[in-house]
Amino acid sequence: MEVQSRAMLSQCRVVPQSPNFRLRAMAPNTTHTTVELNRFAEVGNILADAAGEVIRKYFRKNFDILQKHDLSPVTIADQSAEQAMVSILLDTFPSHAIYGEENGWRCKEKSADYVWVLDPIDGTKSFITGKPVFGTLIALLQNGTPILGIIDQPVLRERWIGITGKRTTLNGQEISTRTCADLSQAYLYTTSPHLFSGDAEEAFTRVRSKVKIPLYGCDCYAYALLSSGFVDLVVESGLKPYDFLALIPVIEGAGGVITDWKGDQLVWEASPLSIATSFNVVAAGDKQIHQQALDSLQWK
């Protein structure tokens, strides 16, 4: 993967997180102590470690590839990594609920204040083909709001952690998105142009035609690169809640913006009856480029 030097991008630059953003990000955190959030993050790290151990054992190895009911691929690595995380959560937080991509809702009760949303391998096709741009996604929701998000790339051993009210980190170092003066200077990522159809394809084409460079094939890793200030925009269609909930604290904690294509907050509450509906997602390094993307999408 080619990552452009920041020095070459004269109109797209990394800037420190603004004070206004910091106040906005801290607002949802009023009911949590630092100790509580740190404990949740500690457990999130343990989950990512456990999933990573499983995933590395299977990466670029021979294994059976199965098909789910929606014809998407699933492997023993997906299933085993999710089970490893679930086992830890059941022991550590028995009152918390779990919603995993592979096995759905797990909780003794019909509802819970805290719900862990897990995607053991976001980008299974990349994993199957030996390309290390997939990731493990871990989100913790409190009354439906993501308060913790982790993007973990277990092969490259890169881990982005977003905690409400705090700056996002990559392997312990604080990071920031970058600003971009105009959509014409933006570097855009999407997993594949072939994943869009109908009106969504037309909307994406409008954005793609205006950016400087469109890039493909990164799954959740594209959002991680955006959080680190290497790209400006990610536009995708048909994402499930477990595909994007972990991204929200990571991107917002780095100073970025992530919404649906109308500019509305991404909201999904997990329950035994919840259906993993599809969402159209746009993420940007700053509000200006985000608004320009929304104006181009023209989504109604």
Residues making up the annotated binding site are 101, 119, 121-122, 243
Annotated binding site for Mg(2+): 101, 119, 121-122, 243
- Cα(233)–Cα(23) distance, integer angstroms: 24
Q: Running DSSP on this structure, what letter comes out for residue 71?
A: S
Other beta carbons less than 10 A from residue 11's beta carbon: 13
Tell me the two tokens of residue 272.
């035994």
Tell me the two tokens of residue 89.
């959560």
Tell me the two tokens of residue 204.
């994406």
Identify whether the C-beta of residue 178 lies closer than 8 Å to the C-beta of residue 13: yes
- Cα(179)–Cα(76) distance, integer angstroms: 40
| Bridge partner residues of 56 (DSSP) | none
DSSP SS3 for 152: strand
What is the number of alpha carbons within 13 Å of residue 67 lying toward its C-beta? 3
Nearest to 213 by CA among 230, 236, 196: 230
Query: What separation in angstroms does the CA of 89 have from each of 72, 118, 188?
Result: 26, 11, 36
